[in-house]
Amino acid sequence: MIDLIQKLPKAELHLHIEGSLEPELMFRLAKKNQIEIPYKDIEDVRNAYNFTNLQTFLDIYYAGANVLITKDDFYDLTWEYILKCVEDNVIHTEIFFDPQTHTERGVPFEAVITGIKEALADAKEKYGITSCIIMCFLRHLSQEEAFKTLEEAMAFKDDIIGVGLDSSELGNPPSKFKDVFKTAEEAGFKLVAHAGEEADFSYIYEALDLLNINRIDHGVQSIKSPELMQRLKDEQMPLTVCPNSNIELKVFGNYKEHNIKELLDYGLNISVNSDDPAYFKGYINQNFINICENLPLTEDDIVTLVKNSFRSSFIDDELKATYLAKVDLALQ
């Protein structure tokens, strides 16, 4: 099974670039930029990555992002993630970034997007890896602030395929961002949102009905509503599931309790993703390995999960067909 996971080309659809900041790079950038971080060494960092829920993770994740200052820092961050894509056979990736985490600290929007974009252009040239960029609004901030961020993003519209919604879910429902998502939709952005990660399935209904999203990030709480399950199946609405994240943030007690096999068996459009791999003990292949070792997934299930990742991506139909053919070729 591990062989199969390794050899299949994959797409990743749920990856926060700030969540791919490995402790080694964090230390290097902290030193270069003279930013204080609350860790004495790498082991100290790893010990701190012991989360009890989403918020305890986010506090540490935002603190880590403070070391990112210049365009080159964002380039290096993105390039290191690309090297992991090469290792794990990810041939297409749709990455999230959180501009407000950086602009709030005085880092220009342009430095963030340009650093990411240049690394992705080099990834295409050197490795043939294709990519898109999705800008997320921080849901613990106001809709007004999201509107300001959207306005800033308009200067880089050609570089950003869609908008998303992340950060502290509980108490910040999709309805809070209804107007800004409508404006983003009218401007031609694709729409995604984290929903039903920690909060109940009513957040998934809101994301579908009020934000009109194209994909749900996480969505694992949908299992609590038979009616929602039927709808997600009928619409083949993609759910970008992140197993390691769900275990590290205690959404499920352990891998054996994860519901990905049930969601898949029901007929939902599920893909596997790494979310914040530097914080959650592994990149995409490790996510596949962890679920395979703990759940009765078959080889056909793995192929379905991988094919779903391409089917649910924002690439055009021709490239989708090319990539799906590559999956079939790898199976021969």
Can you say which residues are annotated as belonging to the binding site?
A: 14, 16, 194, 275-276
Q: Find where tokens 């998303």 sit.
A: 164
98 touches Zn ion by CB under 5 A: no
CA distance from start to end of the chain: 15
- If binding means CB under 6 A, how many residues of this protein chain bind ligand HPA? 10
Residues of the binding site for substrate: 276
- 54 makes contact, choosing from ligand HPA, Zn ion, none, with CB < 5 to 8 Å by partner type, with ligand HPA
The binder of ligand HPA chosen from 13, 15, 19, 241 (CB under 6 A): 19
**Which of 197, 198, 206, 248 is labelled catalytic?**
197
The nearer residue to Zn ion, 167 or 259, going by C-beta atoms, is 167
24 is catalytic: no
- 167 makes contact, choosing from ligand HPA, Zn ion, none, with CB < 5 to 8 Å by partner type, with ligand HPA
- 327 makes contact, choosing from Zn ion, ligand HPA, none, with CB < 5 to 8 Å by partner type, with none
Contact set for Zn ion, span 259-288 (CB under 5 A): 275
The nearer residue to Zn ion, 198 or 275, going by C-beta atoms, is 275
- 197 makes contact, choosing from Zn ion, ligand HPA, none, with CB < 5 to 8 Å by partner type, with ligand HPA
The nearer residue to Zn ion, 246 or 259, going by C-beta atoms, is 246
Residues of the binding site for Zn(2+): 14, 16, 194, 275
219 touches ligand HPA by CB under 6 A: no
Minimum CB separation of residue 299 from ligand HPA in Å reads: 28
The nearer residue to Zn ion, 195 or 306, going by C-beta atoms, is 195
Report the distance separating Cα 180 and Cα 20, nearest Å. Answer: 27
Binding footprint of ligand HPA on the chain (CB under 6 A):
16, 19, 54, 166-167, 194, 197, 245, 275-276
Task: List the catalytic residues.
Answer: 197
